[in-house]
Amino acid sequence: MTSRMLEEARDAPARVAALLATDGDRYEALVARLCAAPPPFALTIARGSSDHAATYAATLLALEAGIVTASLPPSTITRYHAKLRLEGALALAISQSGAGPDLVMTLEAAAAAGALTVAIVNDVAAPLAQAAAFVLDQRAGPERSVAATKSFIASLVAAARLIALWRREPNLLAALDRLPERLAAASTMDWSEALDVLAPAASLYVVGRGLGLGIAAESALKLKETSALHAEALSAAELRHGPRAVIEPGFPVLIYALGDPASADAAALAEALVAAGQTCLIASARAGAGIRLPLPPPLHPLLDPIVAIQAFYPLAVALAEARGHDPDRPRGLHKVTTTL
Amino acid sequence: MTSRMLEEARDAPARVAALLATDGDRYEALVARLCAAPPPFALTIARGSSDHAATYAATLLALEAGIVTASLPPSTITRYHAKLRLEGALALAISQSGAGPDLVMTLEAAAAAGALTVAIVNDVAAPLAQAAAFVLDQRAGPERSVAATKSFIASLVAAARLIALWRREPNLLAALDRLPERLAAASTMDWSEALDVLAPAASLYVVGRGLGLGIAAESALKLKETSALHAEALSAAELRHGPRAVIEPGFPVLIYALGDPASADAAALAEALVAAGQTCLIASARAGAGIRLPLPPPLHPLLDPIVAIQAFYPLAVALAEARGHDPDRPRGLHKVTTTL
One DSSP character per residue, B123-181 reads -TTSHHHHT-SEEEE-------SSS-SHHHHHHHHHHHHHHHHHTT-HHHHHHHHHHHH
Q: H-helix or E-strand containing B52?
A: helix B48-65
CA B184 – CA B68 distance, rounded (Å): 33
* CB pair distance less than 8 Å for B62 and A68: no
Selected residue of A206, A246, A325, A333 to mutate for chain B interface (largest B Cβ count, 10 A): A246
* CB pair distance less than 8 Å for A245 and B228: yes
Q: Mean per-residue pLDDT for A26-43?
A: 98
* CB pair distance less than 8 Å for A75 and B237: yes
Tell me, what's the pLDDT at A338? 67
Summarised one tens digit per residue, pLDDT across range B60-72 is 999 999 999 999 9
Summarised one tens digit per residue, pLDDT across range B104-127 is 999 999 999 999 999 999 999 999
Q: Minimal Cα–Cα distance from B124 to chain A, Å?
A: 22
Phi and psi torsions of A299, nearest 5°:
-110, -55
Q: Mean per-residue pLDDT for A104-132?
A: 98
Asked if residue B287 has pLDDT above 90, the reply is no
CB A278 within 8 A of CB A244: no
Q: Across all residues in chain B, what is the average pLDDT?
A: 95
* pTM score of the predicted model: 0.97
Domain boundaries, chain A: 4-168, 193-322
Least CB–CB distance from A84: residue in B47, B62, B82: B62
Instruction: With H, G, I as helix, E, B as strand and everything else as coil, classify residue B254.
Output: strand
B83 is an active site residue: no
Q: Which range, of A45-54, A248-257, B136-145, B237-246, averages the lowest pLDDT?
A: B237-246
Structural domain A4-168, CATH architecture:
3-Layer(aba) Sandwich (3.40)
Asked if residue A163 has pLDDT above 70, the reply is yes
Summarised one tens digit per residue, pLDDT across range A248-265 is 988 999 999 998 999 888
Q: Mean per-residue pLDDT for A114-136?
A: 98
Tell me, what's the pLDDT at B338? 67
Residues from chain B contacting residue A89 (CB–CB below 8 Å): 41, 68
Q: H-helix or E-strand containing A281?
A: strand A280-284
Asked if residue B48 has pLDDT above 80, the reply is yes
CATH number of B4-186: 3.40.50.10490
* CB pair distance less than 8 Å for B262 and A235: no
What is the ipTM, given to two decimal places?
A: 0.96
Tell me, what's the pLDDT at A208? 95
CATH number of A193-322: 3.40.50.10490
CA A313 – CA A183 distance, rounded (Å): 11
Asked if residue A339 has pLDDT above 90, the reply is no
